Each structure stands twice: as C-alpha cells, then as structure tokens.
Amino acid sequence: MAKHIVARAGEISPGESRLVKVQGRTIGIFNVAGQYYAIKNSCIHEGAPVCLGTITGTFIPSAPGEFHYGNEGEILRCPWHGWEFFIASGGSVFNPQVKLKTYPVTIQGDQVMVEV
Amino acid sequence: MTEVMTGTTAPIRKKYKVIDTDIHHCLRDWSELQPYLDEPWRTTVINPGSRTGGNGLVAWGGHRRRDSVPPDGGIPGSNPAFLIKQLFDETGVDIGILTGDIYALSVHPNLDYANNVIRAYNDWTIDKWLKPYPQLRGSIAVNSSDPEAAAAEIHRLGARPDMVMVMMCATSLFPYGQRRYDPIYRAAVEHNLPVGLHLGAAGTGIAHAVSAVGYPTTFFEYHSGLPRIYMAQIISLVTEGTFEKFPTLKYIFIEGGISWLPHVMWRLDKNWKALRNDTPWVKRLPSEYIIDHCLFTTQPIEEPPNPEHLLQIFEMVHAEKTVMYSSDYPHWDFDPLGPLTHLPEKLKRRIFFETASELFNFKEESDG
C-alpha cells in the first residue's frame, strides 16, 4: 500500500467528484460534505464506469404510499442498470454486503492522498 | 502524478467475434428527418405536439446511459462515431444491428403521419449510419398498424444488403398472428428478412396497457411486466398458424428476456393435446414451431441467485439455436459481454456470433 497524491484539497468541491488514474487503476475521488472518498471506477455488477454515475439521494424504506427522501449527496447511482451505492462505504443500498471497491483517503496539508 | 480520465471500461479480450442484435441509434433531434419529408410532415415532424408521448413512467436516472452522452453533446446514441468508439472499440462488438427507437409510431393515431415519418427515418438511417459505417447493419422500421404500407416499405428497401431485418413495435392493436398482418410476413419472407419485435410503447398513443388488468403505476411495475407482450404475441403466432403459412419466417423477440419461455412452450404443448380442434392447422407441438421459428436476444439477461439455473433455462429453450447476444446500447440497462462469459465456450460462440451470422446471412464474415 502506497499513498498517492490525487488532488489538492479544494480542487474537488463538496458534491463533486473527479476521476484519477493511480497505478493503472481509474479511481473516482468524491467530496461528500467535506469528507473525501475513493472508489474504483468499475461496478461490481457488470463493470460499468460507476464513478461517472449520478451523485444523488435515495428513498428510505417506508410504509406503502409514503416517501421519505434522504442521504442527499451521499449516494452514487451507476450509469448502467441504476444500482445505488453509499459513497462513504461503497455498499449498495439494496444489500450492504454488495460493495464497490474503495480505497482509504487521507488529507496531508492541502493534499488529498489515496492509499492503493 | 495524476491523470484526469474521460474514463470507461477496458477493452475485453475475446476469442470470438460478436454480433450485437439490439443497438438503439437515435435522432439528435427530429429536424434531422425534415430533408426526407414532404409537407405537411416536414413541418409537423418537429412539432412536439404531433407525437404521442410516453405512458407517464420513467426509469430512475433516465432511459439512457449517463456515460454515453457524446463529447459534442446531444443524446446518447445520436453520434455514430462515438457509438462506434464505445460499443465496438471499448465493449468488443464487431458487427452491430441498429434497431432504432421509433416503435411508438405504430400506435400513433394518424397512419399517414406514422408511415411518412417511418419512411424518412429509414432513409436517414441509411444515409447517416449505414453508408459511412460498414460494421453497422440496419433494420427496416415499419408501421405494423398499416400492414399494406408496411409491406410496401419492405419491398422498397428489402433488396438492400445493409438492411437485415424488419423492425416492428412489440405493442400492437391486435395479436400479431392474425391474418391482417400477413402482408408484412409475405413481404418479409420474399426478401428473406426476419421480423424483429422490440418492446416499447405499451400504454402510449392508442396502444393497450401492458397488461390485461389495466395500467401499471410505476416504471418498475411496467418494465417488470413487459414480457407479457411477448407471451401474448408468440401464443397468437403459433395458434393462428403463422409459421404454417410462412414456413421460412423467422421472428426475433428483442429485449424481453428468456426465462418466461419454457412456461409458455409447455402450457401450449399441454393445451394443444386437448384443444387442438380449435386450430387444426397447428400440426406439431407448439413448442416445436417456437424453437424452429423464433429467436430471443439476451439483454436484459435474467440474473438468478444461482447462475447455474440460467444455464438450465438455456437448455430448455435450445439456446444454441434460439438465443443471440444484444447490448441495448445506449439504454440504462445495457449489458456488455461480461454477464455471458461464464457460459460454456461452444454455447458462447453460438450466442455471440454463429446464430446471428446464420440468421442474417453474414456469409462474408468468419468467426475470429
């Protein structure tokens, strides 16, 4: 595991993401309300470039006929097939065991670093 | 050191050629058809009010792949060079069959409007997509609600080697086995073209709901029930004797899945033994007509918890001669080659290349 500088803090605004290449892997760097996360740009379902999906919220399980929207900005929706994932954990909304590959992110000074 | 990527998946390594039987090319906007239309259609085609709209139900995240917006803008599927890059260079398709996206015109209330716009769409497909890109083949879109006009369109374009099938909306005003549709089948077999159906347009325009119990509430409900359309059509085709009347007719059921088929075959076979007096022209087990005349495309492939179960379904439906690969590019539920790579090597070759190559007479192509 080595740390790689992938961005300067502030280059990726809250609610935004960027694709970087680290040692041959394409990785999405996400800023969710000031916290940074790194996700491999390959969906575990069919290999889609998942990090090019939509950053969104989701509907919390509710009683029939009720809608409770939540997790705004914390969900990544894959551009193929529409599976939803929590950006923070990589786990899917329908089953937390079904997870995207994630990498640890650290901030050193004004540098965002990913451990690969 | 970082590198910003425009990003997408790595090319797949494969030991076989791949034919994709369902690619949705589309108009950048309707004005692209104006050069191919006379008045009043040249004016009305760009008026959004002239189209029938949807059924009010949409997929979460939209109907098209968000990562397939062309670099110069426009909607996914509207830029031929970008489609070739994503689907051929990056996904691994070698030959692609364009199926378009104008099925709803078959359930438009105005036959003349639909016939003229469909004709223009076919000419636009030839000029913009088929002439510059030899790796693409086209399908002749027809208005199934006007069978004589549909037959005329098949005769107009059927001799072109780059047009390899007839394309109809799966949703129809009457079941497709009824003899009112025979002119379409007569023209198709005369030109040795299979007839393809693509799901869509249920509950739009003057179409029936997707089900006999009324209109669904959500896209989830609508989309999950779409194979009912194919169940209705295939039962009609078999019981009406369409394949007795047209012994060389081949029928392709696109984007409806496969796992519903064993039930339909076995229920038809069981009923035929008792009820064959209704249709004495049905001379063989109904399932035999289906296996001999009907083909099915893979996307959206079923994903049972035990993948072995899909192989069992494939065995039940004789997948080595009835199933062909499709991607559905650039729609939201696109399937790359990956979901089928666990199949046995011989079956994979049949599904990815050989069956389609035989069906569409791609004689000049050899398996890589």
pLDDT for residue B223: 96
Domain membership flag for residue B12:
no
Give whole-number Cα distances, B106 to B71, B93, B260, B266, B302, in Å.
32, 30, 25, 31, 28
Q: How far is CA B72 from the centre of its chain?
A: 28
**In this predicted structure, what is the pLDDT of residue B60?**
82
- Closest Cα in chain A, distance from residue B335 (Å): 7
Asked whether the predicted pLDDT for residue B4 surpasses 80, the reply is: no
Q: Could you tell me if residue B60 is inside a domain?
A: yes
Residue range B103-120, pLDDT digits in tens: 999 999 999 999 999 999
Please state the separation of Cα B328 from the chain's center in Å: 9
Q: With a cut of 60, say whether residue A64 has pLDDT above it.
A: yes
Q: Given an 8 Å threshold on Cβ–Cβ distance, is B65 in contact with A79? A: yes
CA A53/CA B313 separation, integer angstroms? 33
Cα–Cα distance measured from residue A25 to residue A102, given in angstroms and rounded to the nearest whole number: 12
CATH code, B351: 3.20.20.140
pLDDT of residue B15: 83
Burial class (CB in 10 A: 0-12, 13-18, 19+), B131: exposed
In a domain, B31, yes or no: yes
Please list every residue in chain B whose beta carbon sits closer than 8 Å to the beta carbon of residue A52: 7-8, 66-67
Domain presence at residue B367: no
Q: What does the pLDDT read at residue B331?
A: 97
* Mean pLDDT calculated for residue range A37-65: 97
Cβ contact (<8 Å) for B7 and A54? no
Q: Can you give the pLDDT at residue B3?
A: 36
What pLDDT is recorded for position B365? Answer: 59
Q: What is the average per-residue pLDDT within B57-69?
A: 90
Please calculate the CA angle B226-B297-B98 and round it to the nearest 5 degrees: 100
Give mean pLDDT, residues B188-200.
97
When scoring B5, B91, B329 by the number of chain A Cβ atoms within 10 A, the one with the most, hence best to mutate, is: B5
Question: CB distance from A49 to chain B under 8 Å?
Answer: yes
Report how many domains make up chain B: 1
B217 assigned to some structural domain: yes
- Look at residue B227 in the predicted model and tell me its pLDDT: 97
Structural domain contains residue B147: yes
* pLDDT at residue B315 greater than cutoff 90: yes
Q: Which of B66, B325, B335, B342 to mutate to test the interface with A (most CBs of A within 10 A)?
A: B66
What mean pLDDT value characterizes chain B? 94
User: For residue B155, what pLDDT is reported?
Assistant: 98
Element (H, E) at A3: strand A3-8
| pLDDT reported for residue A1 | 77
Rounded to 5°, angle at Cα B149 from B148 and B153: 120
> How many CB pairs below 8 A link A and B?
67
Residue B11 pLDDT level (bands cut at 50, 70, 90): low
- The pLDDT > 90 percentage for chain B reads 90
- What is the DSSP pairing of strand A111-115 with strand A54-60? unpaired
Note the pLDDT of residue B366: 58
| B326 in any annotated domain | yes
Q: How far apart are CA A67 and CA B24, in angstroms?
A: 34
Tokens 């529409």 correspond to A82
Structure tokens at B222: 């609508």
What is the mean pLDDT of the segment spanning B245-254? 98
Q: Nearest CA of chain A to the CA of B10: how many Å?
A: 9
Closest CA to A31 of A108, A107, A109: A107
Cβ B181 vs Cβ B238: under 8 Å? no
Domains observed in chain A: 3-115 (2.102.10.10)
How far apart are the CA of A82 and the nearest CA of chain B, in angstroms?
7
Reported confidence tier of residue B367, pLDDT bands at 50, 70, 90: low
Domain span at residue B322 reads 21-359
Which of A26, A41, A44, A52 to mutate against chain B (most B CBs within 10 Å)? Answer: A52
Query: B298 lies in a domain?
Result: yes
What percent of chain B is modeled with pLDDT above 70? 95
Interval A68-113: pLDDT, tens:
999 999 999 999 999 999 999 999 999 999 999 999 999 999 999 9
